[in-house]
Structures are given as structure tokens and as C-alpha cells.
Structure 1
């Protein structure tokens, strides 16, 4: 599912395997468990240097919600609500994590996978492969049914024309186009390993600034007020999913 390692002051959380890293309750729970461990490790000293990098093996960063699982005959509406609620709580975990965060997008990211990437402070992306793709209009899924998606997109994509293209044209943004449009901080040459290396380097630089983690998270939350209103103004207080 995923692994957690430490490189210097940086926690590296990696979605493992060669699959699409579809976000179902099992994977979402695994990611959240690792984030809880990071939070526990750093709770005693908010001034301890720390940062997070999230990466993935294979050709996908994450291909979004596990729709094959969600709409199989054995999956109930309650199961689907649990999946979206877990994803919502994962976004809340990242927005309230008391340290800088970097997404190392090493392959394709679609729909809920894009939201996962954009929930980090910085987004580095492999230059020679992969795209960011909000697929809802292509697959006939109403984005309003997952009500925090639009809040994250509005917070992270300030240009209205870019939001239109992402949502109403289902544009597949490469790394270089993402940099030009302001979704991606850096397009990294050299393959998967190089993206992770550059993400860890950036995260280490941020960690060594010596910021207080509790202050950092409060400032981050203040930059995303509409997101926080939807996912929970108090940690652990998360609104009900509508899916």
C-alpha cells in the first residue's frame, strides 16, 4: 500500500507498487495512518525540523477514487460515502499537518489524485511523463457531489481561465503546462527518482528554516479559509460527505 521512511529531517511517504494507486478505503486509511505517525513523532517538539514528501511508484501518482470498487455489486452507498469521507479527512490531515509538505508527482494524477497533490504546499512534477487531469466531465461525475473539491481547486488555481480549462475542458496538464498555468511549482527532468530527490531537497530546505510547526499549520489554514470551512474548522470536526 504505502511506506514511510526518513531522509534527514524529511518524512517520505510512498504509494508502493506498479498499479494506479486508486483511492479506496484501504489505501486512504493506510496513508492517514502514516500521517498520524508523523504527527505523533513531532508532537512533543513543535520546533523540531520536519517536512513531508508524498510520492508514488510506477506510472501513476494516483488515478483518483477507486470507481471500480465503488460501483461493484458488493459496495453499498454507505461504503462510497465512507471512501469520500476518508479522502476528505486526508485533505484535512494535510492542511493541518504542522510542517511543510511537498507532492512529488511522479506520474499521472487524476480527479481525487489531483486533489491529493494540490493539498500539499508545493507540487513538483516529472517533466517527461504524466499529467494532471480532472476527469469528471469526461466520465459524467458531478464534482459538486464531492463538495470540497471545488474549494481546493479555487484555493490552488487562482486564474479563472485555468480553472475553466481544468474543469470544463478536462485539460490534461503536463508538468510544463502546469508550471505555466500555476498548478505546478517545478517540472523536473530525469525520471521518477530525480523528482523524489528534488522534492526531498526542497522539503529539507523548508524544514531547516526552523519554523514552529504549530504556527506553520495555522498560517497554512489561514491561506485556505474556504477549504477549512468545508473540511472542518476544528481538527477532527469534518463535514458530512454528500457523495
Structure 2
């Protein structure tokens, strides 16, 4: 599932195991419970959160095996849980850094974009919105999130309408990724460095969360109904 480790003022949230970290109710609920513990507790100034994953995948999106086995009436559960998870990230009273330590695909890309900053492993992995290739429906809050987090029209077109598989360098050139690094440990170390740099300026986390909601007001409008809800 996931673990949370504290390194000084830096929290490290890790998706554990060697699988694809596909989003099903169990994983999403575990992630939301972990973030809930951060949302409900007090933190020292200059704290930050890093999200990373073990294995060759950061996240390969929604768990289609779960979807195929669940009754149709329950299919919306995982989308709503992810919507709530995105709202949790927007509400966190600290900077957030996503360390893409492996492939990020489909809904995994939405989780990446829920963060303030992104570091991506250069020697393995793609940023890849696969919905068009596999014929899956694109949920509305994904579109809003991508519109606000990827403002360049050409990049957004290539990611969403051409299902371009972006390497770390390409994603950085397109403004999706802030920094690149080598290997899993190197990517996490770079994420720690970036976290320490950006956290220095944050003395009041509640004000940071309010600024996020203003900066990404349309995304917040579409996900805020799920804030605090565990479904």
C-alpha cells in the first residue's frame, strides 16, 4: 500500500511493493488516510511532502482488473476516491513534490499533477496519458486539472490527443517536470533537495493551501466536494 516516513521536516510518502501501483479502493483509501493524518496534525514551519513509489512504476492508473470484477454501480468509486485524493493534496499545509521514480500513466499522471513540483527519473519511465490508446473515458476533473497545470496548448494537445510518451527530459522541456535525476535513489535525493529549497519560504502552511486553491480555482471547484469525504 503506502508508508509515511519523516526525515527532519520532510515527509516521504511511498507507494510500496513491486507492482504497478494501480488505483483501486484499497490503495486510494490508504493514501487518503495517510494524507488525512497530515491534514489533521500540526507541523513545524518549513515542512514538505514527497510522494514516490517502489519498483519500475510510479503508477499505471486505475485498476482495470478491479473495474472488470466490480458491479457497474461501484465503478465510480475509484474516480471519486482519486478526486478526493487530489483535493487532499491541494489542501496540504506544506509544499508537495512528486518524485516520478518509474512510469506514470493515465490516472497516475493526474496524481503527478496534483503536486506543486515534480522531479522525474531520467533513465527509466514515461509520462503517458494512455486513455486514448486504450479507449477509456476521460473524466471531467482530469481535463480541468490538465488545463490548469499544463498551460501550454501544444503540450496539452500532444499529451491528451496524441498520447505522447514523454521522457523525463521531454517532460522538463515541456514544463511538466522541474528537475530530472538518475535512478530511484537519485530521484528521491533530488526531490529532497528541491523540497528543502521550496519549504524555506513557507512559514504558514494554511496560507499556502489557500493560494493553491486560488491559483487552481477551477480544479479546486471540481474536486472540493470530495474534500474530507472518504466515500
Whether TM exceeds 0.5 here: the answer is yes
What secondary structure is seen at the aligned counterpart in 2 of 1:124? strand
The equivalent of 1:28 in structure 2 is 28
State how far apart, in whole Å, the 2-side matches of 1:30 and 1:173 are: 29
Once the 2 structures are TM-superposed, how far is the Cα of residue 6 of structure 1 from its aligned partner? 0.4
The equivalent of 1:77 in structure 2 is 72
User: Contact 1:88–1:231 at 8 Å: present in 2 too?
Assistant: yes
Once the 2 structures are TM-superposed, how far is the Cα of residue 206 of structure 1 from its aligned partner? 2.3
Once the 2 structures are TM-superposed, how far is the Cα of residue 200 of structure 1 from its aligned partner? 1.4
Out of 142, 145, 153, the position equivalent to 2:137 is: 142
Out of 78, 100, 111, the position equivalent to 1:116 is: 111
Out of 155, 175, 187, the position equivalent to 2:148 is: 155
State how far apart, in whole Å, the 2-side matches of 1:210 and 1:155 are: 23
The equivalent of 2:172 in structure 1 is 179
Once the 2 structures are TM-superposed, how far is the Cα of residue 233 of structure 1 from its aligned partner? 6.7
State how far apart, in whole Å, the 1-side matches of 2:95 and 2:8 are: 14
- List 4+ stretches of structure 1 deviating above 4 A: none
State how far apart, in whole Å, the 1-side matches of 2:193 and 2:216 are: 25
The equivalent of 1:166 in structure 2 is 159
State how far apart, in whole Å, the 1-side matches of 2:46 and 2:216 are: 23
The equivalent of 2:97 in structure 1 is 102
What secondary structure is seen at the aligned counterpart in 1 of 2:211? helix
State how far apart, in whole Å, the 2-side matches of 1:12 and 1:234 are: 24
Once the 2 structures are TM-superposed, how far is the Cα of residue 77 of structure 1 from its aligned partner? 2.1
User: Contact 2:94–2:202 at 8 Å: present in 1 too?
Assistant: no
User: Contact 1:10–1:207 at 8 Å: present in 2 too?
Assistant: no
- Stretches of structure 2 that go unaligned for 5 or more consecutive residues are none
Once the 2 structures are TM-superposed, how far is the Cα of residue 235 of structure 1 from its aligned partner? 4.2
User: Contact 2:105–2:127 at 8 Å: present in 1 too?
Assistant: yes
Once the 2 structures are TM-superposed, how far is the Cα of residue 237 of structure 1 from its aligned partner? 7.4
The equivalent of 2:63 in structure 1 is 66
The equivalent of 2:191 in structure 1 is 199
Number of aligned positions between the proteins: 231
Distance 1:237 1:69, change over 3 A: closer
What is the RMSD of the two structures over their aligned residues, measured on CA atoms?
1.7
State how far apart, in whole Å, the 1-side matches of 2:34 and 2:226 are: 21
User: Contact 2:20–2:58 at 8 Å: present in 1 too?
Assistant: yes
Once the 2 structures are TM-superposed, how far is the Cα of residue 49 of structure 1 from its aligned partner? 2.6
